[in-house]
Amino acid sequence: PSPGSVATQMAKLAADGTLWLDLTASAYRISIGFLIASALSIPIGVLIGSFRSWEAGIEPLVDFIRYMPVVAFVPLSILWSGTGDTQKFLIIFIGTFFQQVLMIMDNVKRVPADFIGLGRTLGLPDRKILTRIVVPSALPGIWDTLRISLGWAWTWLVLAELVAATSGLGYRITVSQRYFQTNTIIGYILLLGMLGLITDQVMKALEKVLFRQDGHSQ
């Protein structure tokens, strides 16, 4: 389809509310799924990166699961949780959580040993070393990990909606394929690219505000 045809179709879908319904459904799903994965991966990743006992007990399992293809879990997730939003949350979780844990672990391990040694010299207990030295030092890297994994979350969300959904951006692409509505397909693909770019730039802008004193954000 020509650019004009794509623009006309997207304007039509926006006018009748279809576009906003799909966009709202997908934004809700990715927000909840990504927040659940991040809320669990950050403390686990910090603990694995800080304590060898945690690393020995959890890191091999996480490293094993992250190599499993997320696509293979789509039919299983439908059997486990149906075709509702819970299934979408589960796919986003599987696709991002295990990668996040290992990346956050690496962020924590990159905290200079001198910082931790200074805390021990001052007599700080492990809990305070973790909360006052390790976590603040690793936060810029953790934020960057969240920014990168948010891009993956969009991919897994669309995958889940392509297979089992009644609304959302991925669902609309599937329906459009059945009726050979290529202008809608390309329009939604471009929209997904724009959404991914926007969220990435927002995360970068927030990084500069939150970590303006850190060289990582320059």
88-97, 114-123, 180-189, 208-217: which range is least confident on average?
A: 208-217
pLDDT digits (tens, 9 = 90+) for 43-76: 999 999 998 888 899 999 999 998 999 989 988 9
pTM of the entire predicted model: 0.88
Q: Is the pLDDT of residue 135 over 70?
A: yes
Q: CA–CA separation, 198 vs 209, rounded Å? A: 17
User: What is the pLDDT at residue 214?
Assistant: 60
Buried b (16+ CB within 10 A) or exposed e, 65-97: ebeeebeebbeebbeeeeeebebbbbbbbbbbb
Provide mean pLDDT across the span 192-201: 93
Do the beta carbons of residue 30 and residue 92 sit within 8 Å?
yes
Q: What is the largest CA-CA distance in the chain?
A: 69
What tokens does 154 get? 């969009």
User: What is the pLDDT at residue 213?
Assistant: 63
- Where do we find the tokens 């909606």? 161
Provide mean pLDDT across the span 161-169: 84
> Percent of the chain, pLDDT > 90?
62
> Percent of the chain, pLDDT > 70?
97
